[in-house]
Amino acid sequence: MAIDATWALDWIARSQVVLAENRERLIDLDRQIGDGDHGENMDRGFSAVEKVLSAEPPTDVPGVLKVVAKTLMSTVGGAAGPLYGTAFLRAAKAAPEGVLDAQDVAALLAAALEGIQARGKAEPGDKTMVDAWAPAVAAAREIADGGGSPEEVLDAAARAAADGAQSTEPLRARKGRASYLGERSMGHLDPGAVSSQLILAAAAKAGRA
Ligand code: ADP
Ligand code: MG
C-alpha cells in the first residue's frame, strides 16, 4: 500500500463513515461532560469534507489535507472545528507531494498534534484529544525510527490512540467545556479523544481491503 493521495482520500472517506456511525455515541459522551454537540459537529464536518473531495479529488496528500482543514474550519463549530482544522492544516504542510515513507507518516501525525497544541494549549493528561494524539505520535516515531513500514507506523499510532482515548476516563478535565465540571468530569471518556481514536483507526485501515 502506497501512502499517497489515494490513501489520503480513503482515510478521509473511512473517517466520514465511522464518524457518522458513531454520531450518537459521540453525542452521548459530550452530553456527559459537555454540551452534546460533538457527534453532530464531526458528522457535519466530515460529510461536508467528503462532498468537496468527491467533487474534485486533489492529486496529492497535502492537497487532500488542505481541503479537510479548510472545510472543517468553516463547517464545524465549537472547540473541535478549529482544533481539527489546525491539525489537518499543519499535517498538510508537513506532508510531501509524492509517496510518504514511514518517517513522513510519523512527521505528518506529529505536525497534527503540534497544531492541536498550538491552538488549544492542552498537555497530555488534561483530558482532551491530545491524550489520543500524543501517544499516537510517540508510538509512530518509535516504529519509524526502528525501521518499521508506513503501515506499521499507522497501526501503532491507531493502537496507542485507542489506549490514549481510554486513559481519559478517570481524568479530571483541565481544558475546554468539560473543565467547567471540575471533579464531575471524572469517570467519563473525553469525546474528542474518542473521535481522534476513530480518525486514527481509519488512517490505519485506509488503502487496505
Ligand atoms: P465544544 O466543546 O465547543 O462543544 P466539541 O464538543 O465539538 O466542542 O469538542 C469537544 C472536544 O474538544 C473535547 O472533548 C476535547 O477533546 C476537545 N478540546 C476542547 N478544548 C480543547 C483544548 N484546549 N485542547 C485540545 N482539545 C480540546
Ligand atoms: Mg461539545
Residue 124, amino acid? P
Ligand 1 atom with least separation from CA of 29: 14
Ligand 1 atom with least separation from CA of 122: 24
CA distances from 147 to 53, 58, 109, 144, 198 (A): 33, 30, 17, 5, 26
Closest residue by Cα to atom 19, ligand 1, is 176
Residues in the chain: 209
Ligand 1 atom with least separation from CA of 128: 16
List, for the chain, all residue ranges whose pLDDT scores fall below the cut of 50.
none
In contact, 104 and 95? CB cutoff 8 Å = yes
**193 Cβ below 6 A of ligand 1:** yes
Residue (of 122, 126, 9, 134) closest to 62 by Cα position: 9
Q: Which pLDDT does position 77 carry in this prediction? A: 84
Q: Which ligand is nearest to the CA of 124?
A: 1
Q: Which pLDDT does position 1 carry in this prediction? A: 84
Grid cell, residue 140, equals: 509512530
Total number of domains in the chain: 1
CA distances from 13 to 16, 48, 77, 92 (A): 5, 11, 21, 17
User: How many whole angstroms from 111 Cα to the centroid of ligand 2?
Assistant: 24
Alpha carbons 203 and 197: distance in angstroms, whole number: 10
In contact, 58 and 24? CB cutoff 8 Å = no
Which CATH number does the domain housing residue 154 bear? 1.25.40.340
- To 10 degrees, what angle do helices 102-120 and 130-145 make? 150
Q: Which pLDDT does position 28 carry in this prediction? A: 98
Identify the domain containing residue 29 by its residue range: 5-205
Q: Which ligand is nearest to the CA of 78?
A: 1
**115 Cβ below 6 A of ligand 1:** no
User: How many whole angstroms from 69 Cα to the centroid of ligand 1?
Assistant: 16
User: How many whole angstroms from 5 Cα to the centroid of ligand 2?
Assistant: 31
Closest residue by Cα to atom 14, ligand 1, is 192
